[in-house]
């Protein structure tokens, strides 16, 4: 009885650790094959880049404008009105929108829209034995399929972060206007608090998010098994795992950035 | 393995069913050719599912070998071991004297050039047209000009009755058509070792007969080691020169086709005659 209970806890735990290890190996192999010649993945890289761009631009636009308008915009504005300090909303936007909401909404939209498409695509190919056939025909799936998706997602997520920041700030402007405020103080506190560290930190963070999404989603797709149902399961697991990994990484990254750049802790 | 060998290994499987292998005499009747592919005491498990359980199998050079056996005994798993897509947990797989599991990535890449593989479900690339699918190995592995490629591809497509369908995408084809396209793709490089996983399943009887003729023709033309997995005893009779009967992850009996069709082994007799009475049930 005790033994079976222990086993029941142990087997999933071991499974999780094994999977984590496999993903680390996949990451290393992906980076290694990306750097080592030949470079046959250019075409696929461009098409994956455009694919992600096409799928994500609209959902991301809606998500960032609405979320930034609603969360830091309306809610924080309500709170700041208490102190008659609505001009501080710009400063708050640096903390909320640039550092957290922009990158995280970008990651959620990319994982949910582009990541799942990748898992479903690779999963279907795995189930149809296409990946096996490729390998037998001398095509390395990591170099030809994972590397272009990895690079494309990193670039797309990094770029989309800037796009999300712009539309997020637009949400803030909306909130100011709704509250009948002039925009001058919003910009003033925004630029007083924003530093280049904030910008590069935000872009770097999302670029790494892109890498995480690509590895998780490619891994789950390529290890799908059990027919069409297995592909569905893989997609589901990929989303759950990607979100978890992103938020866990967010914590580590934010903590590290604040510790190494104490200047950005000071709110002006 | 030129001499007569006694039964499979005495290895205990730990599942306590002692007589599970009572029909597995493991007799390997000598064939006239040297072995191109050898499985030596291969064990392979997927989790708790022990699929290959001490498989000893030899597939001769220059002949068409059939692997037959009940569904789910690990025939497709065998093929994946031969091309290095799966690695044995124990034992060794030897192709032309080289141990496949111990090859490096680069050596495996080289070794794979001599294989032509038809996977069970065709495994066509969904993003390419039929024509590009069949041309893929030529573009990947040879320096041939587009005209030469076109000539080979068109010939192979005509042979399998797909002439004129080249512009279609794989998802617009029927299962049998995908199978035939995969068949054509596996042969474009004139490989030394050809592995067909159920080339005849999903085809109508006439096409099956024609496909069998085609396999014989291509083999007569190119030679080499052809391995065909099938459930169709008629096909096995038509093209098989060597037969290995696989059951529960081991060889029941193997040898030249004519000798195996005369075998006294109750399982082999049941399977080769497709009778419902005998050692094999639905389980
Ligand atoms: N990649 C895999 N992961 C887990 N189990 C597998 C895998 N491949 C095969 N199996 C299991 O191995 C066993 C043998 O499978 P295999 O596909 O070789 O059967 P088969 O002899 O080809 O049957 P069929 O004639 O129906 O095609 C099955 O029980 C299957 O579930
Ligand atoms: Mg099979």
CA distance, residue A129 to nearest chain B CA (Å): 5
Is the pLDDT score of B226 beyond 90?
yes
- A55 within domain boundaries: no
User: Ligand 1 test: best mutation among B47, B76, B250, most atoms within 8 Å of CB?
Assistant: B76
pLDDT of residue A243: 95
From the CA of B248, the nearest ligand is 1
Within a domain: residue B32?
A: yes
How many domains does chain A fold into? 1
How many Cβ pairs closer than 8 A exist between chain A and B?
43
**Range A123-133 average pLDDT:** 93
Domain that holds residue A231: 60-265
Local confidence band at B14 (pLDDT 50, 70, 90 cut-offs): very low
Q: Is the ipTM of this complex over 0.85?
A: no
**Cβ atoms within 10 Å of B82's Cβ, excluding its own:** 22
Residue A173 lies in a domain: yes
Domain contains A51: no
Exposed/middle/buried for A1, CB within 10 Å: 0-12, 13-18, 19+? exposed
Judge whether residue B99 has pLDDT over 90. Answer: yes
Q: Is residue B281 part of a domain?
A: no
CA B117 and chain centroid, separation: 8
Q: What is the per-residue pLDDT across B134-149, written as a single tens digit (0 to 9) for each? A: 999 999 888 889 999 9
Domain count, chain B: 1
A210 within 8 A of A155, measured Cβ to Cβ: yes
Structural domain includes residue B2: no
- Res. B283 pLDDT band, cuts 50 70 90: low
| Mean pLDDT estimate for chain B | 85
Ligand 1 nearest atom to the CA of residue B73, by list position: 21
Across the interface, do B121 and A129 touch by the CB < 8 Å criterion? yes
Q: Which of B139, B83, B113, B134 is nearest to B192 (CA)?
A: B113
In a domain, A172, yes or no: yes
Ligand nearest to the CA of B71: 1
pLDDT band at B1 (very low <50, low <70, confident <90, very high): very low
B208 domain residue, yes or no? yes
CATH number, domain at B48? Answer: 3.40.50.300
pLDDT of residue A187: 85
Phi/psi-derived region of residue A141, left when phi > 0, alpha when psi is between -120 and 50, beta in every other case: alpha
The answer for residues whose C-beta is within 8 angstroms of residue B104's C-beta and 6 or more apart is none
Residues whose beta carbons lie less than 5 angstroms from ion ligand 2 = B 76, 120
Q: Which residues of B touch A137 (CB under 8 A)?
A: 112, 136-137, 140-141
B134 in a structural domain: no
Within a domain: residue A53? Answer: no
A138:B112 CB<8 A: yes
* Domain span at B233: 27-120+183-273
Inform me whether the pLDDT recorded for B44 exceeds 90: yes
> Is the confidence at residue B2, as pLDDT, over 60?
no
Give the pLDDT confidence of A51-85 residue by residue, as tens digits.
Answer: 999 999 999 989 888 888 887 778 887 888 888 77
Ligand nearest to the CA of A129: 1
CB-CB neighbors (< 8 A) of B85 in chain A? 132, 135-136
Interface of A with B (CB under 8 A): 124-125, 128-130, 132-139
Residue A48 lies in a domain: no
B166 domain-assigned: no
CA R_g for chain B:
19
Closest C-alpha residue for ligand 1 atom 26: B71
Could you tell which of B39, B48, B49, B230 is best to mutate to test the pocket of ligand 1, judged by most ligand atoms within 8 Å of the CB? B49
Angle between helices A227-260 and A196-222 (to 10 degrees): 160
Radius of gyration of chain A (CA): 21
Q: Binning pLDDT at 50, 70 and 90, where does residue B125 land? A: very high
**Is residue A20 a part of any domain in this protein?**
no
């Amino acid at each position: 009885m005790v033994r079976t209970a222990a086993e029941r806890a142990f087997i999933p735990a071991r499974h999780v650790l094994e999977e984590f290890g496999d993903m680390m190996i996949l990451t290393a192999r992906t980076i290694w094959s990306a750097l080592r010649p030949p470079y046959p993945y250019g075409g696929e890289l461009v098409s994956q880049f455009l694919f992600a761009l096409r799928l994500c631009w609209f959902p991301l636009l809606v998500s960032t404008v609405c979320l930034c308008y609603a969360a830091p915009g309306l809610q924080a504005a309500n709170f700041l009105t208490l102190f008659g300090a609505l001009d501080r909303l710009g400063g708050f936007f640096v903390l909320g929108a640039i550092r957290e909401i922009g990158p995280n909404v970008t990651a959620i939209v990319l994982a949910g829209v582009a990541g799942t498409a990748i898992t479903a695509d690779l999963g279907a190919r795995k189930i149809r034995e296409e990946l096996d056939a490729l390998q037998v025909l001398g095509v390395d799936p990591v170099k030809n399929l994972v590397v272009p998706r990895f690079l494309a997602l990193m670039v797309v997520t990094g770029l989309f972060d800037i796009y999300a920041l712009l539309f997020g700030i637009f949400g803030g402007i909306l909130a100011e206007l709704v509250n009948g405020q002039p925009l001058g103080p919003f910009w003033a506190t925004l630029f007083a608090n924003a530093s280049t560290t904030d910008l590069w930190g935000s872009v770097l963070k999302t670029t790494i998010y892109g890498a995480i999404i690509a590895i998780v989603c490619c891994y789950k797709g390529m290890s799908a098994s059990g027919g069409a149902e297995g592909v569905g399961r893989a997609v589901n697991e990929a989303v759950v795992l990607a979100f978890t990994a992103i938020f866990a990484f967010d914590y580590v990254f934010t903590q590290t950035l604040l510790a190494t750049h104490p200047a950005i802790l000071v709110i002006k | 393995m030129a001499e007569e060998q006694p039964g499979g290994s005495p290895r205990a499987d730990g599942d306590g069913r002692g007589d599970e292998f009572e029909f597995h005499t493991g007799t390997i009747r000598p064939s006239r050719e040297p072995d191109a592919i050898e499985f030596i005491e291969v064990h392979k498990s997927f989790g708790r599912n022990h699929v290959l359980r001490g498989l000893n199998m030899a597939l001769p050079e220059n002949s068409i070998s059939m692997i037959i056996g009940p569904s789910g005994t690990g025939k497709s798993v065998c093929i994946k071991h031969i091309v290095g897509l799966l690695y044995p947990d124990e034992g060794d797989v030897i192709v032309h004297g080289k141990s496949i599991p111990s090859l490096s990535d680069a050596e495996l890449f080289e070794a794979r050039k001599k294989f032509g593989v038809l996977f069970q479900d065709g495994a066509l690339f969904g993003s390419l047209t039929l024509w590009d699918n069949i041309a893929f190995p030529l573009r990947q592995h040879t320096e041939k000009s587009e005209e030469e490629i076109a000539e080979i591809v068109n010939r192979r497509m005509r042979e399998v009755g797909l002439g004129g369908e080249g512009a279609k995408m794989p998802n617009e084809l029927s299962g049998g058509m995908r199978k035939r396209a995969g068949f054509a793709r596996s042969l474009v490089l004139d490989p030394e070792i050809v592995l067909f996983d159920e080339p005849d399943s999903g085809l109508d009887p006439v096409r099956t007969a024609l496909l069998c003729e085609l396999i014989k023709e291509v083999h007569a033309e190119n030679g080499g080691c052809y391995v065909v997995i099938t459930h169709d005893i008629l096909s096995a009779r038509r093209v098989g020169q060597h037969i290995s009967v696989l059951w529960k992850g081991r060889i029941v009996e193997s040898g030249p086709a004519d000798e195996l069709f005369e075998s006294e082994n109750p399982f082999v007799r049941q399977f080769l005659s497709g009778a419902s009475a005998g050692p094999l049930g639905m389980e």
